[in-house]
Structure 1
Amino acid sequence: MTEQNTRLGILLMIATTFVFAVQDGISRHLADEYNVLMVVMIRYWFFGLFVIAIAARKAGGVRAAAATTQWPVQAFRGALLAIEICVMVLAFTLLGLVESHAVFTCYPLLIAALSGPVLGESVGWRRWAAIAVGFVGVLVILQPGLGVFAPAAIVPLIAALLFALYGLLTRYVARRDSSATSFFWTGVTGAIVMTAVGITHWEPMARPDWFWMGTLCLTGALGHYLLIRAYEVAEAASVQPFAFLQLPFAACIGILIFGETIRLNVAIGAGMIVTAGLFTLWRERVKAQRARGRLAG
């Protein structure tokens, strides 16, 4: 097993969040010009080939990577992620990167809230309090009681819910399947689903935008590679908090490239969500350490 290297893992996670933020910026640019389904479909074609290539290089090849007794759940979670990406890219076109990511950042709180009913995990009062604070932050961003509420503001919240369900199902299948198997099903199922729904929405693409599409595919593969490496060299609990850096990276791209602004309520709400999310991750780490201590004792 790879030796744990927390510092390297943190650096890899920071690089991952930056690459994914760049990917989101390119996705917004392309989705402003072309159909969201087509953009995500082409992105998944490359991603599907990437996971097959990774699987082929490992022991047992593609057959071993695809082997699972939980294929309906694996296929469903792969489709769920593809749908979530479509919804989130749509949010970029409706709200921009800043506000979309500010709301989407609540997904760890949704995972914590749903881990009880979905996975049977216990959630203590401290984490429930953090979840409540985080959702107050979401309300601060959405401002449902002030003026005319924009329905588009719900779109990134739907994406966060879909991603939370995907995360919970990933935990569920991990009880019996390896990460390589889950990764394989994520890419291949997503590519199949997106081809089925996206091929009828094909549009001619200008030559310069094919460059951006190629860059989008490469950043997707690079981001997933960096993420895999981060979890290989360090414990997930050590690097996961740094995933929140995707919010400021995406915000910088939104402001500098797309001329977006950060409203005061968005900044306050995002701060509440990130603080609550970090506290939730810390409590999960403490709980896991106590569980390991009891087993060791």
Structure 2
Amino acid sequence: MSATEIRQQSNNVPLGIVLMIATTVVFAAQDGISRHLAGEYNVMMVVMIRYWFFAAFVVAIAARARGGVAAAARTAQPGIQIIRALLLAAEICVAVLGFTILGLVESHAVFACYPLLIAALSGPILGERVGWRRWSAIGVGFIGILIILQPGFGVFDPWAIIPLVSAVMFAVYGLLNRYAARRDSTATSFFWTGTVGAVLMTAVGVWFWEPMAPRDWGWMLTLCVTGVSGHWLLIRCYEAAEASAVQPFAYFQLVFASAMGMMLFGETLRANVAIGAAIIVAAGLFTLWRERTQR
């Protein structure tokens, strides 16, 4: 899925774009494997094992940095760090549940609205000013969501709200990242994200443990590897180029995940989903462009 902003070491935009597209490919593969495993086993167990590897990764990164684990764990706002880490872990569970119920195509089409939600919530949460142009883009984006969900056409499926709930949770998480970055480094936020999430998912996931077929342990290992490599690529991406320059290319995850859903899981791309997703992406790109020009 996305991550916190990383301190830029350079501004090599072409390299950043390549790394962002590679990141979206890896995260799309991760979502596809999550959909398969969560369809066979409990979502909590799948996310728990994934977090074990994620926690090991962030601890290894912290141990190699200056000051070691102690420096990475040092924070002036432990409450905020814990809340944002718990929120991300819960959001991942909701997102994976959405993959199993609605599929990758529809879930990602709705989830693509999260940049619009960040823009809408940045005013009340962070006190940022949102102008009428961005509010207009947000309104257009939500028209796209309504086109996808189609409330009022026949019997409305309440499960269709799952990816929207996931997008709201991830948007709040993204805003808490910005808030935490005012006093803590990215390394600190990254460390708390992995470790606190692993503690939470272990406390919950062990109660849902199920025997796993040998072939699926291979998929689980691949899921963990894609999770770690995806975060590593994202870190390298934001080190190589400014976030505002490469963030629009994160929408490629919608394309790759949807293609995977159709080719591997037999999902279909309904006309209303395609139209709604196109509207959401266009509104999101405009919002990102406005934010960059204002900066």
Alignment-derived partner of residue 82 in structure 1: 89
The alignment of Structure 1 onto Structure 2 pairs a total of residues equal to: 288
Cα drift, residue 4 of structure 1: 1.7
Amino acid at match of 1:182: S
Amino acid at match of 1:232: E
Q: How does 1:178-189 map to 2 (within 5 A)?
A: 178-189=185-196
After superposition, the C-alpha distances for 1:127-174 in whole angstroms (9 at most, x for unaligned) are 000000000000000000100000010000000000000000000000
Q: CA deviation at 1:11?
A: 0.4
Letter in 1 for 2:114: Y
Q: Does 1:11 align with 2:18?
A: yes
Aligned match for 1:281, one of 261, 269, 288: 288
C-alpha separation between the residues in 1 aligned to 2:11 and 2:97? 38
Residue of 218, 229, 232 corresponding to 1:222 = 229
1:165-176 correspondence runs (5 A): 165-176=172-183
Structure-1 separation of matches of 2:203 and 2:223: 21
Could you give the per-residue CA deviations for residues 24-83 of structure 1, whole angstroms, max 9, x where no partner exists? 000000000000000000000000010000000000000000000111100110010000
Equivalent position to 2:43, from 36, 40, 44: 36
Which of 221, 239, 252 is residue 246 of structure 2 equivalent to? 239
1:93 & 1:211 partners in 2: Cα distance?
20
The code of the aligned residue for 1:240 comes to Q
Structure 1: stretches of 5+ with no match in the other structure? 289-297
What is the DSSP-based 3-state SS (H/G/I as helix, E as strand, rest coil) of the residue aligned with 1:121? Answer: coil
Residues 169-190 of structure 1 show CA distances to partners (whole Å, capped at 9, x for unaligned) of: 0000001111100100000011
Deviating above 6 A after TM superposition, structure 1's stretches of 4 or more consecutive aligned residues are: none
CA distance, structure 2, for counterparts of residue 2 and residue 164 of structure 1: 26
Q: How does 1:135-284 map to 2 (within 5 A)?
A: 135-284=142-291
1:96 has 2:96 as partner: no
Two-structure CA RMSD over aligned residues (Å)? 0.6
Look up the SS of the partner of 1:203 in the other structure: coil
User: Alpha-carbon deviation of 1:199?
Assistant: 0.7
Kindly provide the CA deviation profile for residues 237-270 of structure 1, in whole angstroms up to 9, marking residues without a partner as x.
0000111110000001001000100000000000
- 2:69 matched to 1:62? yes
- Paired with 1:17 and 1:175, the residues of 2 have a C-alpha distance of 27
1:231 & 1:273 partners in 2: Cα distance?
24
Q: Secondary structure at the match of 2:76?
A: coil
1:20 alignment partner, one of 14, 23, 27: 27
Q: Distance in 1 between the 2:10 and 2:209 partners?
A: 46
1:2 CA displacement: 2.7
User: What residue number does 1:2 align with?
Assistant: 9
Paired AA for residue 250 in structure 1: A
**For residues 143 and 182 of structure 1, what CA distance do their matches in structure 2 show?**
38
